[in-house]
Chain A
Amino acid sequence: MKIKLNVWRQKDATSKGAMVSYDLDHVEADMSFLEMIDVLNEELISKGEEPVEFDHDCREGICGTCSMTINGRPHGPQHRTTACQLHMRSFSDGDTITVEPFRAAAFPVIKDLIVDRSAFDRIQQAGGYISVNTSGNPVDANAIPIEKEHADLSFNAATCIGCGACVAACKNASAMLFTSAKVSQYALLPQGQVEATTRVLNMVKQMDLEGFGNCTNTGACEVECPKGISLENIARLNREYLSASLKK
Chain B
Amino acid sequence: MATLDSKIPAGPLAEKWNKHKDQINLVNPANKRNIDIIVVGTGLAGASASATLAELGYNVKTFCYQDSPRRAHSIAAQGGVNAAKNYQGDGDSVYRLFYDTIKGGDYRSREANVYRLAQVSTNIIDQCVAQGVPFAREYGGLLDNRSFGGVQVSRTFYAKGQTGQQLLLGAYSAMNRQIQRGKIQSFTRHEMLDLVLVDGKARGIIARDLVSGKLERHAAHAVVLATGGYGNLFYLSTYCMGANVTAAWRAHKKGAYFANPCYTQIHPTCIPVSGDHQSKLTLMSESLRNDGRIWVPKKIEDAQAIREGKLKPTQIAEEDRDYYLERRYPAFGNLVPRDVASRAAKERCDAGYGVNKTGEAVYLDFDAAIMRYGREKANTSGRKDASDAEVRALGEAIVEAKYGNLFQMYEKIADENPYKTPMKIYPAVHYAMGGLWVDYNLMTTIPGCYAAGEANFSDHGANRLGASALMQGLADGYFVLPYTIGDYLSDDIRTGAISTESEAFAQAEEAVRTKLEKLMSGSGKHSVDYYHKKLGKIMWNKCGMSRNEKELKEAISEIAALRADFWENVKVPGMLDSKNQELEKAGKVADFLELGELFAKDALERNESCGGHFREEYQTEEGEALRDDEQYKYTAAWEYKGTPSEAVLHREDLVYENIELKTRSYK
Distance (Å) between the CB of B415 and the closest chain A CB? 6
B residues in contact with A22, CB < 8 Å: none
A residues in contact with B218, CB < 8 Å: none
The A-contacting residues of B in range 32-81, CB under 8 angstroms, are 48, 51-52, 55-56, 66-73, 75-76
Q: A59-B241, A141-B125 are in contact. Are A45 and B582 (CB under 8 A)?
A: yes
Q: A12-B579, A63-B75, A120-B68 are in contact. Are A147 and B127 (CB under 8 A)?
A: no
Contact (Cβ within 8 A) A130 B130: yes
Q: Which of A116, A128, A159 contacts B165 (CB 8 A)?
A: A159
Chain A: interface residue total (CB-CB under 8 A): 78
Surface stretch bound by B, among A1-9, A183-191, A207-215:
A183-191
A114→B616 CA distance, assembly (Å) = 47
A45→B571 CA distance, assembly (Å) = 8
Distance (Å) between the CB of A164 and the closest chain B CB? 10
A residues in contact with B165, CB < 8 Å: 62, 159, 161
A64→B478 CA distance, assembly (Å) = 25
In the complex, A180 has a CB within 8 A of chain B: no
In the complex, A39 has a CB within 8 A of chain B: yes
A147→B574 CA distance, assembly (Å) = 55
Contact (Cβ within 8 A) B131 A129: yes
Contact (Cβ within 8 A) B138 A58: no
A residues in contact with B75, CB < 8 Å: 58, 62-63
B residues in contact with A12, CB < 8 Å: 578-579
A48→B275 CA distance, assembly (Å) = 26
Contact (Cβ within 8 A) A148 B139: yes
Distance (Å) between the CB of B228 and the closest chain A CB? 12
A22→B186 CA distance, assembly (Å) = 38
Contact (Cβ within 8 A) B415 A129: no
Surface stretch bound by B, among A92-100, A150-158, A166-174:
A150-158
Contact (Cβ within 8 A) A125 B415: no
Distance (Å) between the CB of B434 and the closest chain A CB? 22
Mark A13-50 against chain B: 1 for CB-CB distance below 8 A, else 0.
Answer: 00000000000000011111011001100101110111
A residues in contact with B56, CB < 8 Å: 135
In the complex, B282 has a CB within 8 A of chain A: yes
A243→B558 CA distance, assembly (Å) = 68
Surface stretch bound by B, among A69-77, A81-89, A217-225, A232-240:
A81-89
In the complex, A244 has a CB within 8 A of chain B: no
Distance (Å) between the CB of B136 and the closest chain A CB? 8
In the complex, B494 has a CB within 8 A of chain A: no
The A-contacting residues of B in range 127-177, CB under 8 angstroms, are 127-132, 134-143, 159-160, 162, 165-166, 169, 172-174, 176-177
A residues in contact with B135, CB < 8 Å: 151
* A interface, over-half SS: loop
A30 nearest CB neighbor, chain B only: B274
A-B pair number, CB within 8 angstroms: 212
Contact (Cβ within 8 A) B180 A125: yes
Contact (Cβ within 8 A) A42 B527: yes
B residues in contact with A60, CB < 8 Å: 76, 238, 280, 282-283, 409
Contact (Cβ within 8 A) B409 A186: no
Contact (Cβ within 8 A) B131 A87: no
Contact (Cβ within 8 A) B140 A145: yes
A138→B180 CA distance, assembly (Å) = 25
Contact (Cβ within 8 A) B131 A39: no
A206 nearest CB neighbor, chain B only: B180
In the complex, B267 has a CB within 8 A of chain A: no
Contact (Cβ within 8 A) A30 B275: yes
In the complex, A146 has a CB within 8 A of chain B: yes
In the complex, A134 has a CB within 8 A of chain B: yes
In the complex, B482 has a CB within 8 A of chain A: yes
Most buried by A among B66, B138, B141, B174: B141
In the complex, A101 has a CB within 8 A of chain B: no
Contact (Cβ within 8 A) B129 A144: yes
A134→B177 CA distance, assembly (Å) = 11
In the complex, A124 has a CB within 8 A of chain B: yes
Contact (Cβ within 8 A) A63 B240: yes
Distance (Å) between the CB of A154 and the closest chain B CB? 4
Contact (Cβ within 8 A) A130 B173: yes
Mark A111-124 against chain B: 1 for CB-CB distance below 8 A, else 0.
Answer: 10010111011001
Distance (Å) between the CB of B279 and the closest chain A CB? 5
Contact (Cβ within 8 A) A128 B176: yes
A residues in contact with B574, CB < 8 Å: 50
In the complex, B12 has a CB within 8 A of chain A: no
B574 nearest CB neighbor, chain A only: A50
B residues in contact with A162, CB < 8 Å: 68, 70
Contact (Cβ within 8 A) B241 A56: yes
Most buried by A among B166, B279, B478: B279
Q: Which of A51, A85, A155 contacts B166 (CB 8 A)?
A: A155
- What are 22 A-B residue pairs whose CB atoms fall within 8 Å in the complex? A35-B277, A39-B277, A45-B571, A46-B571, A51-B573, A59-B280, A63-B66, A63-B73, A64-B70, A65-B67, A81-B412, A85-B412, A124-B176, A129-B173, A134-B51, A134-B127, A134-B174, A135-B479, A137-B126, A141-B126, A155-B136, A161-B165
Sort A-B residue pairs by CB-CB distance and give the 8 closest, nearest first.
Answer: A145-B141, A129-B173, A155-B134, A141-B129, A57-B240, A154-B134, A125-B176, A30-B274
Please give the residue numbers on chain B whose beta carbons come within 8 Å of chain A beta carbons, in ascending order. 48, 51-52, 55-56, 66-73, 75-76, 85, 87, 123, 125-132, 134-143, 159-160, 162, 165-166, 169, 172-174, 176-177, 179-180, 186, 188, 211, 238, 240-242, 274-275, 277-280, 282-283, 409, 412-413, 415, 478-479, 482, 524, 527, 529, 571, 573-574, 578-579, 581-582
Please give the residue numbers on chain A whose beta carbons come within 8 Å of chain B beta carbons, in ascending order. 12, 28-32, 34-35, 38-39, 42, 44-46, 48-51, 53, 55-65, 81, 85, 87, 89, 110-111, 114, 116-118, 120-121, 124-135, 137-142, 144-148, 151-152, 154-155, 158-159, 161-162, 185-186, 189, 191-192
